Chains A and B, each alone.
Chain A
Amino acid sequence: MLEGLVSQESLSLNSMDMSVLERLKWVQQQQQQLQQVVSQSSNNSPELLHQILQFHGSNNDELLQGSFSQFQMIGSGFGPNYNMGYGPQHEAMDGCISRTSSCQMEPVDTMEVLLKNGTKEDRPISLKNKRKQEVKTREEENTEKKIKVEADTESSMKGKSNMRNREASSETSKETLKGVSEIPKLDYIHVRARRGQATDRHSLAERARREKISKKMKYLQDIVPGCNKVTGKAGMLDEIINYVQCLQRQVEFLSMKLAVLNPDLELAVEDVSVKQAYFTNVVGSSKHSIMVDVPLFPLDHQGSLDLSAINPNQTTSIEAPSASWESQSQSLYNTSSLGFQY
């Protein structure tokens, strides 16, 4: 009987685009079927019926009350114990519903464990989780997320169907679901166990850590030239170290050069126009590639200082680096020659 129920559920829940109303109707259908089933059999174990009660009860208070009434109508086999038992259970279920969404996974565990008798493994898990998901998303009032979340759980469930470790799968499903459901509140690090990979807490954390590190290595790869050809962390680190040392050496060399040229600093910088030229030069030279092992010596530029055809207004343009070089040096020539005609 239960298998029949289950198969029907799976058929109806195959399409992910069911609206909320459709689901409610389906649930009511289930209820009716349950009525029939219960009335037919009188030898059901109390546990099974109890689960079904839980199953339905978790969705809707009304449903729960409806099933309550059904069970009360049933014969004396259950007796008053059930009423007593269901009292606290009802509160518990309410408590579960009112608490955060992760609590609701607990009854699923018990149901999973108890429904394994004779039913397939995949479908009950996926179906129960789908129902739970549905409830959660209804609580959050986010219909878009529902589809995504259900897709997530379904894929994650399918991925874990190979593994015979029920507790592990329920734990990780809890984790993933927790991560998904809490995204609107906090930015959780959402880690999902992929198919055929270990799902214990430690390996998940390690995998998250490794992914973080590889992301940062990719950033470094973008900025350091020549890193694309090498694969593996060791090679990339070699390149990075090499590059940093190269840059530091360049800085030292340039500082030595500036130390030699320092007396000229004040003379060259006093003129405002020269300052402007300097800044534009800096900006213009930003387009040069810096991948030079030896800094360029400006000996070749001195020959171009005699160009008088270039407009000094070109100093403000940043288009061609070479043009700005020549124009800047020409302006320097003009100003410095003016300066030394005392």
Chain B
Amino acid sequence: MVNSNLFPSIEATGGESSTESRRKKPRISETEAEIEARRINEESLKRWKTNRVQQIYASKLVEALRRVRQRSTNEPDKVVSVAAREIRETADRVLAASAKGTTRWSRAILASRVRAKLKKHKKAAKKSAGNCKSRKAAATETNRIKLPAVDRKLKFLGRLVPGCRKVSVPNLLDEATDYIAALEMQVRAMEALAELLTAAAPRTTLTGP
């Protein structure tokens, strides 16, 4: 009787240690992800606000715009909207580049250019891509009645942030934080550049021939 009281405890401890080791592995990866998430949250708010980052972005933006300008001088007839789209994409790419690949949306923006080029080639060969998309959309709408409001909004946010459609909720929120901070910086830089140019413009027109 004495032994029977003892041995279950020993066996239990043996079992406990094995489950412990099993549980330790997911815990370790979780803590790493936690550290990563904390870094993104606390640093992203500050790193997009430093002057140095702004200067780097501004200079890179100027360079990129100049290159775009040189490329477009070959084709003088360009609609403003097309040029605007080009400039926006360039600006987004420069922004993603200055993120140095730590965030998911930046990697998605940089990768999307390659994907777009591939798709162009594919579209020239195939022209049924549009039909596939519409069929897919209809199917998903009929399958799902209605998701709860919060989930719908989270999905929508995932669509807004580039490359974050199938990302888990906490990661999505992290990416959104970084993306918002980066966008703010981008807006500030582009506004300043626009102001600079518009301030310079009337001088050129006035003092022209």
- A residues in contact (CB < 8 Å) with B: 46-47, 50, 81-82, 85, 88-89, 92, 95-96, 99-100, 102-103, 106-107, 109-110, 114, 178, 186-189, 209, 212-213, 215-217, 219-220, 222-224, 233-234, 237-238, 240-241, 243-245, 247-248, 250-252, 254-269, 274, 277-279, 281-283, 285-286, 288, 290, 295-298, 301-302, 305, 325, 328-329, 332-333, 336-337, 340
Contact = CB atoms under 8 A, between A and B. Distances in A.
Nearest 10 CB-CB pairs, A to B?
A255-B88, A256-B84, A259-B83, A216-B173, A237-B153, A268-B200, A261-B197, A254-B190, A255-B87, A247-B183
Which of under 10, 10 to 19, 20 to 34, or 35 or more describes the interface residues of B? 35 or more
A298 B198 contact: yes
Contact of A269 (B12, B20, B24, B62): B62
The majority secondary structure among interface residues of chain B is helix
Contacts of B66: 265-266, 269
21 contacts: A46-B2, A50-B5, A88-B6, A103-B13, A106-B13, A186-B31, A220-B173, A238-B153, A244-B160, A244-B180, A259-B80, A261-B197, A264-B200, A265-B65, A265-B66, A281-B195, A282-B58, A285-B192, A286-B188, A298-B198, A336-B207
Contacts of A234: 149-150, 153
B20 A102 contact: yes
A50 B2 contact: yes
Contact of A340 (B55, B194, B199, B204): B204
Contact of A255 (B28, B58, B91, B195): B91
B36 to A, nearest CB: 12
A85 B2 contact: yes
Given A107-B9, A234-B149, A286-B188, A268 B197 contact: yes
Interface in B1-44: 1-3, 5-6, 8-10, 12-13, 16-17, 20, 24, 27-28, 30-31, 34-35, 37, 41
A277 B192 CA distance: 11
Contacts of A88: 3, 6
A240 B157 contact: yes
A263 B16 CA distance: 72
Interface of B: 1-3, 5-6, 8-10, 12-13, 16-17, 20, 24, 27-28, 30-31, 34-35, 37, 41, 45, 49, 51, 54-55, 58-59, 62, 65-66, 68-69, 72, 80-81, 83-88, 91-92, 149-150, 153-154, 156-157, 160-161, 169-170, 173-174, 176-177, 179-181, 183-184, 186-204, 207-208
